[in-house]
Amino acid sequence: AHEVMHVYLHRLDLYFPGTRDNEILTDTAATYLGAGWLLLDAYREDADSSQKLGYLTPEEFGYVLAKRALVFDEDPSIWFTSPQAYTAYTAGMAQARRDEQQPPLTAAGWAGRRRYAKDRRHAQDHHAPGPHPGVPYAFSPDSRGPLRVSFPCPTCHQRIRVPVRGRVRARCTLCRTVLECDT
């Protein structure tokens, strides 16, 4: 699957300048397009040795595989024969779920929503845009109207920018995911 993906990416003329980055891109694309559970299931570890396939860490494979599972509504966890692969997948799924629960998304938890509201008030009162350390969103003024907030799409991580005006529905221009937000 990895070598086939090299050919596919070459034909699409998708590449990075460095070899290592291209290998990571190849593993990520192969995982997302369906071969990921096989690559992750090759991960084995015992007291004396460990083995894995590919250039991603098992946790990174688990994360990409979890992102795919969420998009395609599937559960590859039943296919794993390696307990270490299952553990890496569940860690990746936990991170993928956290991506979906970041403010200003309506699925954000209570603490995240409170922090977001505090940061929003500060940005509105002090006209001080910019990201705060540890938060995925950033506020910026708009010359034509209200304050705007930008945040990463939980599906593809493309930055989305919407006006700060309460509940809005935003569509990612890259992956077309519709997101419920409370800005």
Give the tens place of pLDDT for each residue, 23-68. 999 999 999 998 888 889 999 888 888 888 889 999 999 999 999 9
Q: Could you tell me the residue ranges of all domains in the chain? A: 2-99, 110-182
Residues 6+ apart with CB under 8 A from 9: 15, 22, 25, 26, 29
- pLDDT greater than 90 at residue 12: yes
pLDDT above 90 for 11: yes
The pLDDT of 137-153, averaged and rounded, is: 88
Residue 132 has pLDDT above 90, yes or no: no
The pLDDT value recorded for residue 96 is: 95
The pTM of the full predicted model, rounded to 2 decimals, is 0.82
Q: Token pair 């569940």 is at which residue?
A: 90
pLDDT at position 129 is 59
Rg, Å, the chain Cα set: 19
pLDDT at 2: 86
Percent of the chain with pLDDT strictly greater than 70: 97
What pLDDT does 128 receive? 63
Q: What is the pLDDT of residue 144?
A: 73
Strands (E), 26-98: 44-45, 50-51
Give, to the nearest 10 degrees, the angle between helix 2-12 and helix 19-30: 110
- Residue 130 reports pLDDT greater than 60: no
